[in-house]
Each structure stands twice: as structure tokens, then as C-alpha cells.
Structure 1
Amino acid sequence: MQSLIQYLSDKKILLLGFGVEGQSSYRFLRKYLPKNSINIADKNPKLRENPLIHKDDNCFFGENYLEAVKNADIILKSPGIKMQEVLAIHPKAKISSQSDLMFRFFPSHCIGITGTKGKSTTSTLLHYLLSQRMKDVFLVGNIGKAAFDFVDISEEAFFVYELSSHQLQSVRHSPHISILLNFFEEHLDYYKDYEAYKKAKFAICRYQQENDIFIYDKDDAAIAKLISEEQTLSRKISFSNKDKSAAFFSDGNSIQSAGKKIYDLHSEKKLLGRHNEKNIMAVLAAIQALGIETDELSAAISTFTPLEHRLEYIGEENGILFYNDSIATIAEACIAAVEALGKVETLLLGGFDRGINYLPLIKFLIKRKEIKHLIFMGEAGNRMQEILNAQKHDKANFSAVSMKDAVEIAKRVTTKGKICLLSPAASSYDKYKNFEERGKDYKKIALQ
């Protein structure tokens, strides 16, 4: 703790972005470095009214907020602000973040988790299981809580760190244990291309040393390619549901490690689907890497409640079983949801169109005999429907102008006892603030 404070003590600090992380950094700095020069910059002028900073004059709010980067010794950048916009104004800017400082000064107290899909579920499950054994273990990062709010609670504090590509873009240090779940095309509106996105995420292990541990999906060719190209130093622990040579292997019935069955996949649990088998393997690998016997904690998987909007059963209405998978913003996530549930008769798709290739998804859906009805929404839905109707198929398909319209169609056409699933394979930004708001709207309408 003292080494972090000493590192920051003689610096003129800019908090670039004053959301959850920026405000957390401000509280920490004012507590431990009350005499330091701290500037605050954010595009949102309304944040100037925040009572936390009412006595501070060194604030830069509004359209020209990035001009503040010119006068800082160190910039603690919030994840949502693009790195290239900062460097365009100050090419030699020293950019850091809470994540970077945590991994620099407390690496052995951190497990970092990233991946295009599954990172929230994996992080939450790992935190839940470790909480059965540890007193001060905190779930932080992309999940919505800032690490600096907990870093001084105790010397034994341990952090399960969910990391987005935006958070990893500005790090130059890695946690002691890192987990990389997968790569899929996502956030291409933020990065120059898919390669830049993958390289940003790979920072989770790029700076690890020989005594650190990197846990990864052996089935993901893009991960394997980056491991080969970057020649990272850490010890590698792989998981797979295809390759028996992986350190952790799932055959659909059990998870095995070192030739021993360590978890029965037929045990009672709420995490469905083969994609969640991989999430469980990653968690068990991390627990083992910490020196904890997996037998001690794996039984608690049965009592873990998955996060909202992830293959969430929301209830029965008119005899129809409604499931909410609003988190599915890419085609691969929708495919995983359909495979996990198995008895989906009606599927709601679409939203904001980011140019994703939907042909593989449509071909997959055409082959699924149990799916009878496809209901499309938004520009992405329009394009999916065009691709569908250019193929030979037997699916009843509908175009809906709103979530209410889509659910009304679903209630009209779905057989009693069958599943209606929202798994959009598209982002929500055409009509909603985020996937959570979209999921809540679906749940409200479905159960009316």
C-alpha cells in the first residue's frame, strides 16, 4: 500500500473520466494524498455539480475536456475514453489506470478475467466460490465496482477482477493469475480492427513473469496464435471440451484434471450449456492455481445463481416458458443459448446492426428442427431475415417493430409447454441504453 502511495505522491495527477472509477480514484487520492495536485476531466458538464468535488477548481468539463491531458505527470484514464484520442493530443502522455496500478503494486492479490463472452459469469462464480473460503475477497472491475474502494480494507484483501478490453488497453502490468476465455468479433466500433481488439485483451497476460499463471481456452485458435507470437513467460494452464491433453478437460459428463474426475457435470446446477462448462473449468483451474483443493469448493457450484439476462428463466405465461438471454450480442452467444436450452420453439433476434456476419447463425437455425418461429427486430433483424429468406428453409418468420410487438407475436404462435427465448445476437443500442435495459423490458412485457 505504501509503495503505491509513494509512487503517486510527487505527481500531478489527472483523473480522465469521472464515472465510477474516476470518483473512486478521487476518494482514494484525497484520503491518502490530500496535498497532491489532482485535475479532473470529463466530457459530461453535469458532473461538475457532484458534491464530491465542489471545492475543487482544477476541473475540466465539456467538449474540450481532453485538453487537460497536456498538463499531467500521470493520467488515470477511465475505460470508456479511447486511448487514441488521448494520444492524438499528447503523444507522450503517461497513461495508467486503477487496473494498471493494482497489477503493478498488488499482482499476487489479483486474478484477472477477460474474454468476449463469459467473463461476468466466470468472475462472479469464482468470487462466489472463493468467498466460501476467504474473508476479504472482492469482485471488482468491469462488473461495476472499483478496486480502490477496497484496497485498504486489509492486507489480506484479494481481488477477482473482471476486465474489459477497454480496461486492458491501458495496462502495462498483468495480474499474477490471468484467465482468457475466448475471442469473438466485438467492439469493432471502438478498435481499428479485430486484431487490435484481440491484442488489447491479450494484455491480461502479456506482462506476466515466469512465476505467474495464464489460464486459457485451448480450443480457441486466436488465443493459441497470440501465445505463439508473443512468447509470454507465464506458466500455461489450458482447458478444453475437445482436446483431452488440456490440463482441464470436459467430455460433457465430467471435468477431469490429471486423469482424475474433479466435477460431475450432471450435478445439480443452474449454469447451462457447454459454454458454461468452459467457464466452470476456468474457475476450477484458478482455484487449483491458488493451492486450494477443488473438492473443497466445487460442491458450491450447485448453489450459485447465474447473473440476470444470461439464459435466465423468467417464468411461465399462457403456458409458454420464457427465457431471457439479452447478454447475447453476437451470433456465437445465440448459438450457445439455443444449444444449452435445447427446446426453443420461438426465438427473438435483432437490434443494432454492427455488420456482423450472420450467415453461419442463420444456417445453424435452419438446421434446428425444434425452432419453428423466428421473430426479427431492428436493422440487424432485418438483415438476418433477408439472409434467412435467401436460403431454403421451413421457418415461420416475422418482423416486429418493437419488443412489445415481438412478444405479442411470440405469445400468439408459441405452443404451450415450449420455450420462447430472447437471444438477440445483436447489441441493444438502437432502442436501449444497454443489454440490461433491453432484458428488463422483455421480462416486463413477457409476464404481462
Structure 2
Amino acid sequence: MRIADLRGRRVAVWGFGREGRAAIHALRQRCGDQHFTLFCSAAEVDAARAFDAAIDVVAGEPDATTLGQFDVVVKSPGISAYKPALLAAQAQGLQVTSGTALWFGEHCFEKQPDAHVIAVTGTKGKSTTSALIAHLARALGVRTALAGNIGLPLLELLDQRADLWVIELSSFQTGEAGPLEFGVITSLYEEHLDWHGSRERYVADKLRLADVSRQLLVNALQPALLERTQAHPHRLLFGQPEGWHVADGFICRGSHEVFPVAQLAAPGLHNALNACAALAALAAVGMDALAAAPALARFRPLPNRLQPLGEHDGWHWVNDSISTTPLATLAALESLHGRAVTVLVGGHDRGLDWTPFVEAVRTAPPNAIVCMGSNGARIEAALRAAEVNCSMVRVDDLASAVAEAKARTPRDGVILLSPGAPSFDQFKDYAERGRRFTELAGFDAATITGIDGLGIG
């Protein structure tokens, strides 16, 4: 669907976050004075009317009857596609689209034959891999766009041109992408069950990227991902000895040592694998990955993603607020192996299984574990039942967690925020949680407000 297809139709926008605002702006650009309706929260009504005085603003979540009054709804990513009201209205003929889907409709129509498109998804690693691809391509002098779920809606770049489009897609968006040249799946774990409704549906939605990608790059170290994508006719792998992989402290291509892992600013094996994915993707679309590789030394870790904040008051602080699954927390601990680490875990309870985390820390316990948030009691109970042999405490909030971490961590040790859970029990989002942790650690939170390289450069 193209934006022009919405002219003369009854159209509603659902959601007034950045995606919703980008959609309203694009509709005004292409559809002029057409009447639109916006559904948003009561707290957003005044801001919405100030943003677009002509739009009809409705506070609250629409039901099926209300949605049925429209021909098309442009939905923001955070609104589940499986809401009963939305499904009921679709059964009666409502069409549902999104900013991502509209951008792909416009991009495919305009047919930029010389522009490459790489879309990246994965439970973890998708933001860093996307940013790495853009960073390395720009090091080669390629005019590159970095957008999507990473923090810049595609519709904000609707009329822009680039030689390479690097698009991060969440599991909410993979079904909205149109046909594209190259897809990357970095990892596949359990997440976002509240949006998708079940693990099976989450996996199916995540893998919809494979259906629209002419070539597909996947992580060879993930057996479930390999099995689920083996039928793809043009599948490539990273993380195996025949291609881009990590061995003996180096990022390698085959037997050739290309870049020392120790020179990566982003720590951990998983970030070295993200670099492998980025290099493999560039090589697959015809760029000189070997020439780009030295630029890995200049890549800055993304905010809230295993971000080293530095040393303060005798402790080293690491902000991994983006961690919203127990397996992501394990990856963070692995990246700090051999150091005295106190990890802060817990937050909004989505019912995820913490058994793999508990089993792993029972075998290799960190210095201490501080459990917090709405699922902190459940995590603590599982750890104590497994008789995990380390200092352990449960608190209610992040400030108390930081205070306990200081009391339990030796000097020159590491205090790691890697919650393994969303932030919604106490914060607006993971970024707000990361800023608060940064402040509590004694650093300037203003230094981690954004991601370098968004847009076109």
C-alpha cells in the first residue's frame, strides 16, 4: 500500500509516539487537507492537537465498533496486531497498515535500482548490528541511511535518497516489510510474549523477515534459527569457520584473521558476532568488507547496550538497560567473565522462564545478584531454590538496588545493570531506566541520550 492509496478514504492513526507523529506528517505531505482521526492516550491529547490542529483527536483505545467506522488504520508498532478489537474490525473489512509498510510501499514504487536495502532483526543484537553496518559502510564512503526500530521512523526519511538503507525491524515490524534485497537475523529467543500472545507466534512473526528477503543471513551458532530457516533458497551464515566468525581472539573470514576482538569498544563475544554479521552483510551486497573492517575500532557502543560508563567511586559501571530477557543478561555476564560482577536483575514481569539463567549462575555465580522490580521476588525465589552460591538480596526499586550493589561489590569490581526484563513497572522505557542508573552511578545522564549515526550520512 502506498500513501496515495489512502486519499479519499476514512483513515485513522493509532498511536502518538514518534512513529505516529511521523505517520501524521507524511499523510499531511501527501494527502493535503484530508480528514484524519488520531487515537491516543488522554495524556497526549493536548500535544496531539498542537501537533496537527486539523486532526480529530480521540482519547482512549478504540473498540471494534469504533475501528469499523474506518477504511484504514495506520498503527504504531507498540500496538499489538493481535488485539481482539483490531482482529474483529479486520474481519469486517478494515485494512491495517503502518509507517514501516507505507515506507516500503513508496520505496518499492520508486524503484531505486542502485540502492541496497538491508533489514536487520533478532531478539538481541539487531540495533548494534544495524549501527555497525551503517558505520562500516560510511567508512567506505557509501551514503547510508540508518533508520527503523533503532530510533528513527522510516517515514521521517520518506523523501530522502541513500545508496544503502540499513533498517532495524522489531518483531512488531517484520511482517510489515516489503520485498527486500537482504535480511539479517542475529538471534532468536523468547521475548515480547505480551504483544505476540505466545512464543510460537513470536518466533513465526520474527521469521517473517525470511519470507520477504531475497538473501538471508543468519547466525550459525543458533540451532533453532538454523532449523527454522534451512528452506530459504539463498541463505548465508555467519559464525561458522567457512565464513565470518570469531576464533582465537580475532574476527576472521575463513582462515584469515581480520580484526582483534580486544580492539572492539563494544565488549563480549556476542558483539564480536554482531561485527561478523555486519561484515558479512556488506560483503554480500558487493561492498569491500575487508577494507571496512579497521573502522570497527572507531565504533562507539550504543547507549544502554552493554555501555561502559566508566569508573566512579572505585567501581566500574556498565549500563545494559536494553536487556529485557534472561538470556540477554547471561550474555552480558559472559562479556565480563573473570571480573567481580554484581548484576542488577528484574523489572516488569512478562512471565519469561528464568530457568536457563538460574542454571547458568548456579554453575558460574557472579559476585552478587540484586533482584528488583515486580518480578524480583520470583527471580530471588528461583535462585534460592537452586542454592546459587553468591551474595543475593531483593529490593523494590533501582535506587535501592544500586545502594545494595555498592555494599556488596569489592573495589575495582563491576556493577552491571542488565535486568533481563522490561522497565514498565517503574519507568517509561529502558532508556529512562538507563539514564536513572547512570545518574545513580554518578555520571552525567545527558551523555547517553541518543544513538550516533541515525539518519543519512
Kindly state the Cα deviation for residue 262 of structure 1 after the two structures are TM-superposed.
Answer: 5.9
Match of 2:88, as an amino acid?
A
Kindly state the Cα deviation for residue 393 of structure 1 after the two structures are TM-superposed.
Answer: 4.1
Cα gap change, 1:373/1:187 in structure 2, threshold over 3 Å: closer, same or farther? Answer: same
Cα gap change, 1:186/1:260 in structure 2, threshold over 3 Å: closer, same or farther? Answer: same
Cα gap change, 1:391/1:27 in structure 2, threshold over 3 Å: closer, same or farther? Answer: closer
Identity %: 28
1:261-272 matches, cutoff 5 A: 261=256, 263-266=258-261, 268-272=263-267
TM-score, normalised via structure 1 length: 0.88
Kept in 2, the 8 Å contact 1:174–1:203? The answer is no
1:25-424 matches, cutoff 5 A: 25-34=23-32, 37-45=34-42, 46-47=44-45, 49-56=48-55, 58-64=56-62, 67-85=65-83, 86-91=86-91, 92-106=93-107, 109-134=116-141, 136-154=143-161, 156=162, 158-169=164-175, 171=176, 173-208=178-213, 212-228=214-230, 231-233=231-233, 235-240=234-239, 243-245=240-242, 247-257=243-253, 259-261=254-256, 263-266=258-261, 268-342=263-337, 343-368=339-364, 371-424=366-419
Match of 1:348, as an amino acid?
L
C-alpha separation between the residues in 2 aligned to 1:82 and 1:345? 37
TM-score, normalised via structure 2 length: 0.86
C-alpha separation between the residues in 1 aligned to 2:61 and 2:5? 31
Kept in 2, the 8 Å contact 1:374–1:398? The answer is yes
Kept in 1, the 8 Å contact 2:13–2:74? The answer is yes
C-alpha separation between the residues in 2 aligned to 1:412 and 1:175? 52
Cα gap change, 1:126/1:71 in structure 2, threshold over 3 Å: closer, same or farther? Answer: same
Cα gap change, 1:15/1:351 in structure 2, threshold over 3 Å: closer, same or farther? Answer: closer
**Structure 2: 5+ residue stretches without partners:** 109-114, 444-457
Match of 2:94, as an amino acid?
A
Higher alpha-carbon deviation: 392-401 or 322-331 = 392-401
Kindly state the Cα deviation for residue 11 of structure 1 after the two structures are TM-superposed.
Answer: 4.8
Cα gap change, 1:18/1:442 in structure 2, threshold over 3 Å: closer, same or farther? Answer: closer
C-alpha separation between the residues in 1 aligned to 2:277 and 2:45? 39
C-alpha separation between the residues in 1 aligned to 2:5 and 2:265? 45
Kept in 2, the 8 Å contact 1:80–1:166? The answer is yes
Task: Report the secondary structure of 1:190's partner residue.
Answer: helix
C-alpha separation between the residues in 1 aligned to 2:373 and 2:23? 39
Cα gap change, 1:117/1:162 in structure 2, threshold over 3 Å: closer, same or farther? Answer: same
Kindly state the Cα deviation for residue 357 of structure 1 after the two structures are TM-superposed.
Answer: 2.0
Quote the RMSD (CA, aligned, Å): 2.5
Cα gap change, 1:180/1:345 in structure 2, threshold over 3 Å: closer, same or farther? Answer: closer
Task: Report the secondary structure of 2:227's partner residue.
Answer: helix
Kindly state the Cα deviation for residue 185 of structure 1 after the two structures are TM-superposed.
Answer: 0.9
Higher alpha-carbon deviation: 406-415 or 114-123 = 406-415
C-alpha separation between the residues in 1 aligned to 2:370 and 2:3? 55
**Structure 1: 5+ residue stretches without partners:** none
Higher relative contact order (CA 8 A, sep 6+): 2
C-alpha separation between the residues in 2 aligned to 1:318 and 1:74? 55
Kindly state the Cα deviation for residue 178 of structure 1 after the two structures are TM-superposed.
Answer: 0.9
**Which whole-Å deviations, capped at 9, do the CAs of 1:189-230 have from their partners, x for residues lacking one?**
11221010111111212123xxx21111122233223324xx
Equivalent in the alignment of 1:19? 17
